[in-house]
Structure 1
Amino acid sequence: MRIYPIETGNFKLDGGAMFGVVPKSLWNRTNPADGNNMIDIAARSLLIEDHNQLTLIDTGMGNKQSDKFFSYYYRWGDHSLDKSLKKLGFHRDDITDVFLTHLHFDHCGGCIQWNKDRTGYEPSFKNAVYWTNKRHWEWAIKPNDREKASFLKENLLPMEESGQLQFVRHDKSKFTSRSEFGFGILFVDGHTEKQMIPHIKYKDKILIFTADLIPTVGHIPLPYVMGYDTRPLLTLKEKKSVLETAAEMGYYLFFEHDAHNEICTLRSTEKGIRLDKIYRFDEVFD
C-alpha cells in the first residue's frame, strides 16, 4: 500500500462560521482572518494505492459551478486535482473507488463534471465506484433547510444515474472494517448525518482522516465547533472520543481543510487534549 496527499484546490470561508460561538480573538490566533473575516481553507484528499485498487477519499468542489458560485469562496493558489494526480503519474481514469466522507459540495463536487458539449453532467471518474452510505444519501437527497445549500442536486443525482453509486454497510458497532478499502470507518453524526471518518493503518501507524469532524489544527480544543454543524453538542462528544483515543494511542490526524498544516499528533494536558507536533505528510510516511 502507498498513500499520497492530493491537493484539489484552496478557498476561503468565513472565520466566524468556521468556529461557531468561539470569539474571534481566540480563533484568530491559529486561523488568522483577512479583511473580510475569511480564513484559508484547503480541500486536501488522500489517494490510496493498494495492488490494483486506487481509492480517492473526497474530491474537493470540482470546477463545474458558475463563476457567481465560486465568487463566494475566494479560491486561491494553483492546486487542482488533475495537477496533483499528474504529478504522481496518475490520471482520473485510473481511480477505481471514490470514497466520500459526506456529500457537502466541497467534499464531493469533483465527482461530477459537465459533459463535452455542456448539455448535461457525467462522472468525473468514469471507471470508479462512488461510495457513500445509505443513511447519509437519504439525508442528502432530501436536505433540511440548514444544509440545503451544501447538498447540490447536480452533484448527487448524476452520481446515482450513472450506476456507479454504491453504499458502504453501516452496522451498530463503532468501527466498520471494510475489505473494499482496507481501512476502518467511524460513523459520526454531529456535523451531518453519518459522516464517515477513515482510520487507516499505514507503515505501522494509524492515520485518521478528520474530514469535517476536526477541520483544522485550530479546531482541536473541544468547544471549537463549526457553526455549520447540525448537532454541535454531539460533535463535542464525538470529537472528545476521537481526540482522547488519538492522544492515548499516538495516532496521527490528517487534516482535509487546514491549508497550512497536513498532519499533527496530540498530547494530554490539564486543559484537555492539545496539539503536540505538526508534520508534513512525507516527514511521517516517507
Structure 2
Amino acid sequence: MKLHVINTGFFKLDGGAMFGVVPKTLWSKTNPADDNNLCPWAMRCLLVEQGNRLVLIDNGIGYKQDAKFFSHYYLHGNDSLEKSLKSKGFDFSDITDNFLPHLHFDHCGGGVKYKDRDPNLIEMTFPNAKYWSNEAHWDWAIHPNGREKASFLKENLVPMKESGQLEFLDLAKKELFEGFSFMTVDGHTDKQMLPMIQFKGRTIVFVADLLPSVGHIPLPYVMGYDTRPLLTLEEKRLFLEEAAKNNYVLFLEHDPVHECCTVKMTEKGVKLDQTFSLNEL
C-alpha cells in the first residue's frame, strides 16, 4: 500500500464559527485570524494506492459555483485537485473509488465538474470511479435540515446519483476492503465516516470534521457548524482516548499547517503529542 497527500487548495472560514463558544483570545493562539476574523483552512485529501485500486478520500470544493459563492470563502493557494493528482503521476480517469466521509460542499464539490467549463454540461470528475457514501447520510443530505441546507448542494449530489456511480457502504460491516475500514460519528453531521487505514503497522485515521485541526484537540473546541455539539464533544473524548491509547496517526484534512499528528494522555486529559508530514512515517 502507498499513501499520497492530495492538496486541493485553501479557503477561509470565520474563526468564531470554527471554534464555537471558545473565545477568540484562546483559539487565535493556534489559528490566528485576519482583520475580518477569517482563518485559512486546508482542503487536504488522501489517496490510497492498494493493488489495482486507487482510492481518493474526499475531493475538495471544486469550481462549479459562481463568483458570489466563492467570494464568501476566499479560495487561495497554488494547489488544485488535478494538479496534485498529476504531481503523483495520476489522472482523474485512474481513480477507482472516491470515498466521501460526508457531503458538505468543501468535501465533495470536486467530484462533479462542468465539461469544457459549460454549466449546461455536467460530468463526473472521475469517470471510472465508484463514489462511496452511506444511505443514512445520503438521505440526510438530499433532505437537508435548515441548519445544513447551505452546505448540501444539489449540483454536487444529484449528478452522483444520476450517473449510476454512487454506491452505499454497509454501516454494519464498516469496511471498504481489507485494511481500509471506517468508524461513524454523528455530532458534526449524521453518519459522517472516518476512514481507518492500516499502514506500516500503524492506524491512520482520516479525522475529517470530527477534528479539523490540532487547534480542535481540546474537548470544548467544537465547531459552531456542528448539528449536535454536545455529541461531538463526547465523540471527541472517546476517540481521542482511543487514539492516545493505540498511538493512532491522525490525518488532518483542514489544518492549514500540519498534515498529521499524534496525541497522548496526560493528567489533564488528552493533549497534542507530535506533528509531522505523512511521508515521515
Residue 15 of structure 1 corresponds to 15
Letter in 2 for 1:247: A
SS at match of 1:268: strand
Residue 126 of structure 2 corresponds to 125
SS at match of 1:13: strand
Residue 171 of structure 2 corresponds to 170
Q: Does the alignment pair 1:134 with 2:132?
A: no
**Which of the residues 261, 264, 276 maps onto 2:261?**
264
CA distance in 2, matches of 1:210, 1:169: 19
CA distance in 2, matches of 1:260, 1:96: 29
For the aligned residue pairs, the C-alpha RMSD in angstroms reads: 1.0
Percent identical pairs in the alignment equals 59
Residue 277 of structure 1 corresponds to 274
Structure 1: give runs of 5+ residues left out of the alignment: none
Q: Does the alignment pair 1:110 with 2:122?
A: no
Residue 50 of structure 1 corresponds to 50
Question: Deviation of residue 120 (structure 1)?
Answer: 3.1
Please give the per-residue CA displacement for 1:1-25, whole angstroms capped at 9, x wherever unaligned.
1010100111110000000000000
Letter in 1 for 2:142: I
Question: Deviation of residue 242 (structure 1)?
Answer: 1.0
CA distance in 2, matches of 1:177, 1:132: 12
CA distance in 2, matches of 1:247, 1:148: 35
Letter in 2 for 1:141: I
Please list, as runs of the form range in 1=range in 2, the aligned pairs for 1:37-186 lying within 5 A after superposition: 37-116=37-116, 117-171=118-172, 176-179=174-177, 182-186=179-183
Letter in 2 for 1:199: M
Structure 2: give runs of 5+ residues left out of the alignment: none
Question: Deviation of residue 91 (structure 1)?
Answer: 0.4
CA distance in 2, matches of 1:123, 1:249: 38
Residue 2 of structure 1 corresponds to 2
Question: Deviation of residue 177 (structure 1)?
Answer: 2.9
Question: Deviation of residue 115 (structure 1)?
Answer: 2.4
Residue 229 of structure 1 corresponds to 226
Normalised by the size of structure 2, how large is the TM-score?
0.98
Question: Deviation of residue 269 (structure 1)?
Answer: 1.6
Letter in 1 for 2:109: G
Question: Deviation of residue 178 (structure 1)?
Answer: 2.9
**Which of the residues 190, 194, 199 maps onto 2:191?**
194
Conserved 8 A contact 2:10-2:77: yes
Could you tell which deviates more after superposition, 136-145 or 66-75? Answer: 66-75
CA distance in 1, matches of 2:246, 2:191: 24
**Which of the residues 198, 205, 228 maps onto 1:208?**
205
Could you tell which deviates more after superposition, 38-47 or 63-72? Answer: 63-72
SS at match of 2:29: coil
CA distance in 2, matches of 1:2, 1:96: 15
Question: Deviation of residue 283 (structure 1)?
Answer: 1.3
SS at match of 2:174: strand
SS at match of 1:10: strand
Could you tell which deviates more after superposition, 266-275 or 134-143? Answer: 266-275
Residue 32 of structure 1 corresponds to 32
Segments of 4+ in structure 1 off by > 3 A?
Answer: none
Normalised by the size of structure 1, how large is the TM-score?
0.96
Question: Deviation of residue 270 (structure 1)?
Answer: 2.0
Question: Deviation of residue 182 (structure 1)?
Answer: 3.5
SS at match of 1:9: strand
Question: Deviation of residue 154 (structure 1)?
Answer: 0.3
**Which of the residues 247, 252, 262 maps onto 1:250?**
247
SS at match of 2:63: coil
Please give the per-residue CA displacement for 1:163-218, whole angstroms capped at 9, x wherever unaligned.
000000112xxx72332x74111011000000000111101111110000000000
